[in-house]
Amino acid sequence: MDEERRQKPRKDSRPATWEHIHMVQRLLLEVIQNLQQRALEHDQSKLSSPEKELFDEFSARLAGLTYGSPEYQESLKLLKPALEHHYAKNTHHPEHYPEGVNDMDLLDVIEMLVDWKASSARQHDGNIMQSLKKAKDRFGIDAQLFKILENTVARMGWHK
């Protein structure tokens, strides 16, 4: 068998490997383009009615509250009309989907995590890891996805 192997001419695997590499590159660039578009369009619905007026009124108040606190939850109730519109227009919110996080795709999840990080930075006592723990319970995020989100926060250096 070894003798047979030595005598058989070997096929160069580099062309097929380069083809694979180039396909992965093209597909990753498609993902990047989608994320770039999301970055440009993120939360644009907050800039016009019916969201703008309520966010004008409540954004400063929310920034001074602890995420998930009773006072925070009460403010969200007052924001309900704006939030319902916002969730309907923005797929990075679990509330957009009938089955929440389970209906999201990976691009929604990436935008959601980035949004949570940015939102936690606006809170006076914001902490992305604490926000993740509260969101885990609030949205029924399973252990595996939660660990992926934690790992991403760590890899990005956002936990500091």
The model's pLDDT over 48-58, given as tens digits with 9 standing for 90+, comes to 999 999 999 88
Asked if residue 4 has pLDDT above 70, the reply is no
pLDDT tens, residue by residue, 65-95: 888 889 888 888 989 999 999 999 999 999 9
pLDDT at 5: 64
Q: What is the DSSP letter of 99?
A: T
Entry pTM? 0.87
State how far the Cα of 32 lies from the Cα of 74, in Å rounded to an integer.
38
Quick one: pLDDT band at residue 33, thresholds 50, 70, 90?
very high
Mean pLDDT of all residues in 90-117: 98
Torsional class of 43: left (φ above 0), alpha (ψ -120 to 50), beta (otherwise): left
Q: What is the DSSP letter of 123?
A: S
C-alpha distance from residue 52 to each of 45, 78, 84, 113 (Å): 8, 14, 13, 23
Burial pattern 12-33, b for ≥16 Cβ within 10 A else e, equals eeeeeeeeeeeeeeeeeeeeee
Quick one: pLDDT band at residue 64, thresholds 50, 70, 90?
confident
